[in-house]
Amino acid sequence: MPENSIATAQVDISQHSFRAFMRRLFALTRKEVRQLLRDKSNLSIGLLLPVILMLIFGYGLSLDVKNAPIAVVMDDASPTAMEAVVGLQLSPFLSPLMLTSMQEAEAMMLAREVDGIVRVPSSYSRDLAAGHASIQVIVHGAEASRASIILNYLTATLAQQGSRSADRLGGISQGGLGYINVESRLWFNESNTSTWYLVPGLIVLIITLVGAFLTALVMAREWERGTFEALFVTPVKPVEILLAKIIPYFCVGIIGLAMCLCTARFLFGVPMEGSLIILLFASVLYLLVALGIGLLISSVTKNQFMASQVSLLVSLLPVFMLSGFMFDLRNVPMAINIIGHLFPATHFMSLIKTLMLAGNVWPQIILECSILIAYAVLFISLARVVTRKRLD
């Protein structure tokens, strides 16, 4: 047979194989889409739960402190002393309650009716004129993070007002202390709200929920029902089965991502300082990672209960505890920091916060995207290998 005839035959065979592959993949994907649309509970988890979580966490969870009740004890009732605490009344973060007895303030602190006590001593006016006045600040420390925030609010407000009072009295010319006017600016979170910090993390959580948790449960249920065994007796290949499983939930994840981004931007006002294209690309990479994790878990466990426990352990819990969503990994022991960076969510969490709040930091973008690509290839390849082994 002439060589050109052999080459033509090989091309025809390749085209026929590709068309057969596409027909099988289309048929399997159509089956998965119909099954997804028929199962309202999974569809609700994939589409409605992201919006519900965004609203609950965006409005219900806040690390900010507003209108904190503060007892103000005025041992010095002079106009100068009253001027020292006027800033507390103007602050949106504090809600001062004027008292005349320290005992009453301590009782309210013990009853958790106030979060702190500000005590202006009787010698405050005289000491301020001399340049060395002091005000006592006591904060309830049962909740360490809240106490630290309140303490910062109190000290900043009192110091600023004290500086103004000293300048007015001419404390510097009388030999008192010099005061410096500090002009502060907060980078990457100008509104100084924890919502801007939490909402990007919610996007990571929702993609993990749809990609890993939901996919693992659905796949494990099909193993229990014997759906896979029915597919194994057909001419379909493992890679076609996996692609057919990935495509519908990939689309659900993309829809959930779009809703989350719209909610973050237009409802909570979270900025988009970096490139939206890069953010979408990184989100697609992490979604593929999550889908690979879900496929791998379901192929290994083949049981809904076990799949739910394993996916909770290796996907959802790390997003909450070890990815920087709630806690800064720089503040944890080195061993925990290293373990946290082994999870893909940690890298996507850092990248999405940088893109939304800081902008395009290219060294970080290249590094984190490369890591996500490696994880996506790893988990999808492992899922394919495990599924192929189960077919033997």
Whole-angstrom Cα distance, residue 78 to residue 87?
A: 16
Examine the pLDDT at 166 and tell me if it is beyond 90: no
> How sure is the predictor about 375, in pLDDT bands with cuts at 50, 70 and 90?
very high
Pair (55, 77) in one structural domain? no
CATH of the domain at 104: 3.40.1710.10
Residue 177 resides in a domain: no
Please identify, among 135, 169, 203, the residue that sits at the C-terminal boundary of a domain. 169
Do 264 and 231 lie in one domain? The reply is yes
Whether 41 is covered by a domain: the verdict is: yes
CA distance 355 to 155: 33
Residue 298 in any domain: the answer is yes
Question: Which residues, listed in sequence order, are joined to residue 120 by a DSSP beta bridge?
Answer: 74
Percent share of the chain, pLDDT over 70: 83
b/e map of 349-370 (b: 16 or more CB within 10 Å)?
bbbbbbbbbeeeeeeebeebbe
264 and 147: one domain? no
Residues 355 and 217 both lie in one domain = yes
Decide if 17 is inside a domain.
no
Domain boundary among the residues 169, 204, 232 is at 169
Q: How far apart are CA 310 and CA 212, in angstroms?
A: 10
Looking at the predicted structure, is the pLDDT value of residue 121 above 80? Answer: yes
Q: Does residue 263 share a domain with residue 345?
A: yes
Rank 47-56, 213-222, 262-271, 329-338 by mean pLDDT and report only the highest: 262-271
Instruction: Provide the edge-to-edge strand list for the sheet that holds 136-139.
Output: 94-99, 68-74, 116-120, 136-139
- Give the pLDDT mean for 361-376: 94
- Structural domain ending residue among the three candidates 169, 185, 211: 169
pLDDT tens-digit series, residues 231-289 = 767 777 778 878 888 888 888 889 888 988 988 888 888 888 899 999 999 999 999 99
307 in the same domain as 200 = yes
Do residues 373 and 256 both lie within one domain?
A: yes
Radius of gyration of the chain (CA): 30
76 and 56 part of one domain: no
Asked if residue 12 has pLDDT above 70, the reply is: no
Give residue 196's pLDDT: 82
Helices (H), the chain: 3-38, 40-55, 79-84, 86-90, 102-110, 124-130, 144-169, 195-208, 215-225, 227-232, 238-262, 276-301, 304-311, 317-321, 334-340, 344-353, 362-391
CA distance linking residue 354 with residue 348, whole number of Å: 10
For the record, the structure tokens of 234 come out as 């057909």
Check whether residue 257 and residue 300 sit in a common domain: yes
In a domain, 376, yes or no: yes
Q: Residues 148, 263: one domain?
A: no
Specify the pLDDT at position 171. Answer: 46
Residues 224 and 357 in one domain: yes
pLDDT in tens, 171-225: 433 433 334 444 455 566 666 677 887 888 888 988 998 888 888 887 787 777 7
CA distance 295 to 386: 10
Task: Supply the mean pLDDT for the chain.
Answer: 80
Residue that has been written with the tokens 């791998």 in this structure = 296
- Domain membership flag for residue 162: yes
Question: For residue 131, how many C-alpha atoms fall within 13 Å in the half-sphere facing its CB?
Answer: 10
Q: 134 lies in which domain range?
A: 68-169
Looking at the fold, whether 53 and 90 belong to one and the same domain comes out as no
Q: pLDDT at position 176, please? A: 38
- Does residue 384 form part of some domain? yes
**Within a domain: residue 178?**
no
The pLDDT of residue 110: 84
| Tokens matching residue 265 | 């931007």
Looking at residue 392, its pLDDT comes to 47
User: Amino acid identity, residue 134?
Assistant: S
Confidence of residue 351 (pLDDT cuts 50, 70, 90): very high
**pLDDT the model gives residue 13:** 55
Q: What is the number of structural domains in the chain?
A: 2
